[in-house]
Amino acid sequence: MGIKFYNTLSKKIEEFIPLETGKVKIYMCGPTVYDYFHIGNARSFVMIDIIRRYFIYKGFEVKFVMNLTDIDDKIINKAISEGITAQEVAAKYSEAFFEDIKKLKIKPADVYPKATENIPYIIELIQKLIKKGFAYQVNGDVYYDVTKFNEYGKLSGKNLEELISGARVDVNEQKKNPADFALWKEAKSDEPFWESPWGKGRPGWHIECSVMSMKNLGETFDIHAGGNDLIFPHHENEIAQSEAVTGKPFARYWIHFGFLNIDNQKMSKSLGNFFTAREILENHSAEALRLLYAQTIYSAPLNFSLDLLSNTENAVKRIENAMHNVQTAQIIENQEIFDVTRFYEEFEEVMDDNFNSPEAVAVIFDFIKEVNSFIAKHNALSNSNKEKILKVFQDLAQDVLGIIDLNKAQKFDNRLIDDLLKLIINIRNQLRTERRFELSDKIRDELKKLGIELEDKKGITTYKFNK
């Protein structure tokens, strides 16, 4: 049995069968670049990163596309409030987005399409929808007629008749049905615009993602992902637009990420409990935040608190301490084999079952417990065991979950050694100042036995490694 996970479209857990053997095409709804993204957005970005990393670990060739919505009402409003252009707002927060996902150890997407770079393709798709009778023009606006798509509501489970009857109808409403949505919006004065067959305007949000996903992944692709809040209307409307034009299934599997609350309350600026990822990363490590996210199944709600994140920092230190124990253990030639096979098997078993990252994390900590016990028992490691153990840390904790950084740990070790040697040198120099040469020479000689040679020159002491 291969990977299986919950498909929002079918409302059940299904075995994943890719369109092309050994390949996975994934589209993830990215940010609207009008502000720094918050920790709820960060959760979705991190969890799709873990899912993508796991597919790679399993040997799949993954093409991952994440869009940037760089024209939107929110961007225009931000531009007005900051006294700059919408283009400048989008550029500023696009740059911030890339800075912050790098800090979060998120692998860059293969493609980051932007809405403004795809206007001709968007206009072309709208024209096809009008020609097929799924869309209509009202003055400078173009709307999608939801009644024309027989399967409208199949992703969200919403009833079209109830949507139409329950919708508020504005006095000047020109739409055929209250639930119809905009494909193209006529530009208001002083708003950014593009020329189109319907006049000056800009695209609606939903049509942007239909174009950017199909252009980069094909008319039918494997997986579409995003937050739970996007199921309706955004993803429902993407399906309606795309399948109306192509007559083919749009995305075959849909993955949605659960909401994030703060101390059991909805995150809100008015409540003063709103955190951007950038703010959190000023005082906490990316590894801790990723571990916190991974400790809850991707589709479930997550209750976030700063206390919980601090506790998670301690859990990261436990992992780092275990790695340090392995890296600094005394090396011996012959030793009983430390079998890592079951940890790989258990990790894959739980990740194959709906990407169960909490259980995967539990496997990592079980592994750490066994490693620490093994080192304590033998007070040493063979080179073979050391290599195998470090490879488990790399393959599972680093390359899939992204909750450790072996390179950072090694840099930390080097920095610690440097600080300790400087401390020893300062103590030795103080002894020499006090003319306690016998003890200062003993420090020099003992360090030399360890392969560290001190050199006194012009009142300055330096060190070098001879081993």
Local structure of 251: helix, strand or coil: strand
Q: What is the DSSP string of 318-338?
A: HHHHHHHHHHHSPEES-----
What share of the chain in percent tops pLDDT 90?
A: 76
Beta strands (DSSP E) in 16-107 are: 23-28, 61-66
CA neighbor of 76 nearest in space, from 165, 195, 191, 184: 191
* Phi, psi (deg, nearest 5) at residue 98: -65, -35
pLDDT digits (tens, 9 = 90+) for 244-295: 999 999 999 999 999 999 988 888 777 778 899 999 999 999 999 999 999 9
Give mean pLDDT, residues 18-40: 97
What is the set of domains in the chain, with CATH numbers?
Answer: 4-257 (3.40.50.620), 277-404 (1.10.730), 409-465 (no CATH)
* Long-range contacts at 73-82 (CB < 8 A, ≥ 24 apart): 74/32, 74/34, 74/35, 75/32, 75/33, 75/34, 76/191, 76/192, 77/34, 78/34, 78/35
d(CA 78, CA 91): 12
The dihedral of CA 159, 161, 162, 168: what is its sign? positive
Give mean pLDDT, residues 222-242: 97
Q: Which residue has the higher pLDDT, 163 or 79?
A: 79
Q: Tell me 111's DSSP state.
A: B
Q: Are strands 331-332 and 381-382 parallel, antiparallel or unpaired?
A: parallel
pTM: 0.88
d(CA 346, CA 325): 23
pLDDT digits (tens, 9 = 90+) for 309-362: 999 999 999 999 999 889 888 899 889 999 999 999 999 999 999 999 999 999
Residues linked to residue 111 through DSSP beta bridges, in sequence order: 65
d(CA 401, CA 348): 12
The token pair at 27 is: 């589209």
What band does 93 get if pLDDT is binned at 50, 70 and 90?
A: very high
CB atoms near residue 313 (< 10 Å): 16
The one-letter amino acid code at 227 reads G
What band does 169 get if pLDDT is binned at 50, 70 and 90?
A: very low
Answer yes or no: is pLDDT of 168 > 60. no
CB atoms near residue 140 (< 10 Å): 15
What band does 109 get if pLDDT is binned at 50, 70 and 90?
A: very high
Predicted local distance difference test score (pLDDT) of residue 171: 39
d(CA 52, CA 357): 13
Give mean pLDDT, residues 88-115: 98
pLDDT digits (tens, 9 = 90+) for 176-218: 999 999 999 999 888 999 999 999 999 999 999 999 999 999 9
- Decide: 260 and 302 in contact? Cβ < 8 Å: yes
d(CA 6, CA 20): 20
